[in-house]
């Protein structure tokens, strides 16, 4: 595994106390460019999120020149970050698969990436894959780990050395900086391909989210939590703000009627600061409904993004989800109700509560400050035609046996094409009936009426928040 790094300038001398593992970790976190030949045909190009635009542009130009001189036009660049004009201008073939930093990608996106990688590498023995990422290495790790599992299930034994190299890269460079949801999605992908995870095709309605253990986000302890739920990165629900008393050890956020969830789900719990127009993330978690088989699931602290390293969240803390197969209220759940010391502020017109941090995702390109490219419009690059890669069509899904890939090992339980079709259907991206959409709209109207009825009679002034200054922030 060859590696080339560019670091910002360091002091000429360092005290002996810093010449330790912690210094190596600090260097690892402050790199500008890290180019690694994970295998002879899979290359990682990582840029720090803190690198300035001038340095990034210069390094990107050098990398493109090196790739051309060594691989000519036989490399395909997978961009896991936001679209950039300069990437498309400097490289002959680019596929944009970006998603927010520190997050897991959609499960069908993992399938599409692995399929494109496998198709490109199989087309010509000289073809190589370049994985580009600007930010945390977690995104690169998801792709490398997913393709490692795919290769382990489907490829021949003579590729064992490549799989070992991918495993070493993932464990050495990614696991220390990755997020639990990223690891979870890699496990989903591997389990679905191998058959260890069965696909759930039943509808799931979320009724309760219980936070066991109260985090300390205020100076005197406690927090003021509210939830935002996203489906396929689109907001589908925002709760009121829950204010609990000193004696509370848990908070239950109830959604009635139940909220229908399908596909990739992101749930973020925020703390709204007292007398301040700011919010902090308490926890974040992602899951896919096709892998949920129990009507009650629990995520411990070490399974919650960002929270697993946050001392404000108690070590024994956990988050519980209660589902059902229908929107009707679940009987026998009275024990989950909050005590009299918990009040709910349903001021849903508060701009801070309504603001969605993913609203501008992939709607614009990052651009370089380099004058040569600053005048270019960020146009879509020409479509990359991958040899023998049939366009995925969303037809009625036949039985699993029909789509089992006969060219690969029998350990590959389903093919990428079959899995893609199922994920698109279960994610509600094709053919969702108008009747079901109308029923869900009616349920949302009913929830809104209930919030208005429960809202306190006193007038609550809206906080003045300049949302326009926040639209470029993807998460915080």
- Burial class from Cβ neighbours inside 10 Å (0-12, 13-18, 19+) for residue 281 reads middle
| Shared-domain flag, residues 145 and 48 | yes
Are the C-beta atoms of 325 and 200 separated by less than 8 Å? Answer: no
Residues 190 and 237 in one domain: no
The CA distance from 286 to 264, in Å, is 7
What's the pLDDT score for residue 234?
92
The answer to whether residue 132 is domain-embedded is yes
* 3-class DSSP assignment, residue 47: strand
Looking at the fold, whether 153 and 251 belong to one and the same domain comes out as no
Predicted pLDDT at 43: 96
**What are the Cα distances from residue 228, in Å, to 34, 267, 359?**
35, 6, 13
pTM of the model: 0.77
Asked whether residue 418 is domain-assigned, the answer is no
Verify that 57 and 38 share a domain, yes or no: yes
pLDDT band at 420 (very low <50, low <70, confident <90, very high): confident
Task: Identify which of 284, 267, 280, 266 has the alpha carbon closest to the alpha carbon of residue 224.
Answer: 280
255 with 169, same domain: the answer is no
**178: burial class by Cβ within 10 Å (0-12, 13-18, 19+)?**
buried
Pair (91, 214) in one structural domain: no
Do 156 and 61 reside in the same domain of the chain?
A: yes
Q: What is the pLDDT of residues 379-406, one digit of tens each?
A: 444 456 666 444 333 333 322 222 233 3
439 has pLDDT over 80: no
Edge-to-edge strand list for the sheet holding 225-231: 234-238, 225-231, 264-272, 279-288
Q: Which of 317, 320, 301 minimizes the C-alpha distance to 309?
A: 301
Rounded to an integer, the average pLDDT of 281-295 is 94
**Do 135 and 257 sit in the same domain of this protein?**
no
Local structure of 45: helix, strand or coil: strand
Same domain, 308 and 281: yes
Is residue 399 a part of any domain in this protein?
A: no
Domain range for 44: 23-194
pLDDT digits (tens, 9 = 90+) for 96-152: 999 999 999 999 999 999 999 999 999 999 999 999 999 999 999 999 999 998 888
Domain count, the chain: 2
* pLDDT above 90 as % of the chain: 40
pLDDT in tens, 228-255: 999 999 999 999 999 877 777 889 999 9
Residues 211 and 348 in one domain: yes
Task: State the CATH number of the domain containing residue 102.
Answer: 3.90.190.10
> Would 437 be classed as within a structural domain?
no
User: For residue 412, which phi and psi values (nearest 5 degrees)?
Assistant: -80, 100
249-265 pLDDT tens trace = 889 999 999 999 999 99
Q: Could you tell me if residue 13 is inside a domain?
A: no
184 plus 290 within the same structural domain: no
Is the residue at 107 inside a domain?
yes
One domain for residues 50 and 176: yes
Indicate the residue among 194, 219, 235 that finishes a domain. Answer: 194
pLDDT > 80? residue 33:
yes
- pLDDT at position 95 is 95
Q: Of the candidates 349, 359, 198, 358, which has an alpha carbon nearest to the alpha carbon of residue 286?
A: 358
Cα dihedral: 9, 14, 20, 22 (round 10): -50
How far, in Å, CA of 373 to CA of 89, rounded? Answer: 9
- Average pLDDT of span 433-449: 58
Query: Distance between CA 134 and CA 140 in Å, rounded?
Result: 10
Computed over every residue of the chain, the mean pLDDT equals 76
282 C-beta neighbours (distance < 10 Å), count? 26
162-182: per-residue pLDDT in tens? 888 898 988 888 888 889 999
């Amino acid at each position: 595994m060859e590696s080339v790094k560019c670091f910002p300038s360091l002091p000429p001398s360092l005290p002996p106390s810093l010449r330790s593992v912690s210094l190596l970790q600090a260097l690892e976190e402050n790199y500008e460019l890290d180019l690694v030949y994970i295998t002879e045909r899979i290359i990682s190009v990582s840029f720090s999120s803190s690198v300035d635009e001038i340095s990034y542009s210069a390094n990107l130009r050098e990398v493109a020149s090196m790739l051309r001189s060594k691989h000519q036009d036989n490399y395909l660049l997978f961009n896991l970050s936001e679209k950039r004009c300069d990437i498309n201008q400097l490289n002959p073939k680019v596929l944009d698969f970006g998603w927010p930093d520190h997050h897991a990608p959609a499960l069908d996106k993992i399938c599409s990436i692995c399929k494109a990688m496998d198709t490109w590498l199989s087309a010509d023995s000289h073809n190589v894959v370049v994985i580009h990422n600007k930010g945390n290495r977690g995104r690169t790790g998801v792709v490398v780990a997913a393709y490692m599992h795919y290769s382990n299930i489907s490829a021949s034994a003579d590729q064992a050395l490549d799989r070992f190299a991918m495993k070493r890269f993932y464990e050495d460079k990614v696991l220390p900086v990755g997020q639990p949801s990223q690891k979870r999605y890699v496990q989903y992908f591997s389990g679905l391909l191998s058959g260890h995870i069965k696909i759930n095709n039943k509808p799931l309605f979320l009724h309760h989210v219980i936070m066991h253990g109260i985090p300390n986000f205020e100076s005197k302890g406690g927090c003021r939590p509210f939830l935002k739920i996203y489906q396929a990165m689109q907001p589908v629900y925002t709760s009121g703000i829950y204010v609990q008393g000193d004696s509370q050890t848990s908070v239950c956020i109830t959604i009635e009627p139940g909220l229908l969830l399908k596909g990739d789900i992101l749930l973020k719990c925020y703390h709204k600061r007292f007398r301040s127009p700011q919010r902090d993330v308490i926890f974040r978690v992602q899951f896919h409904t096709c892998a949920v088989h129990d009507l009650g699931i629990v995520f411990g602290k070490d399974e919650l993004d960002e929270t697993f390293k946050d001392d404000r969240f108690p070590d024994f803390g956990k988050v519980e989800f209660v589902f059902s197969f229908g929107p009707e209220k679940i009987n026998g759940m009275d024990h989950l109700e909050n005590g009299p010391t918990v009040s709910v502020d349903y001021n849903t017109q508060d701009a801070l509560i309504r603001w969605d941090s993913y609203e501008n995702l992939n709607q614009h390109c990052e651009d370089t400050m380099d004058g040569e490219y600053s005048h270019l419009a960020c146009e879509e690059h020409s479509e990359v035609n991958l040899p023998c890669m049939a366009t995925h069509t969303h037809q009625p899904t036949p039985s699993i046996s029909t789509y089992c890939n006969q060219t690969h090992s029998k350990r590959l339980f389903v093919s990428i094409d079959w899995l893609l079709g199922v994920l698109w259907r279960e994610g509600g991206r094709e053919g969702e009936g108008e009747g079901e959409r109308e029923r869900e709209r009616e349920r949302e109207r009913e929830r809104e009426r209930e919030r208005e009825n429960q809202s306190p009679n006193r007038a609550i002034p809206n906080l003045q928040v300049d949302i326009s200054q926040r639209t470029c922030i993807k998460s915080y």
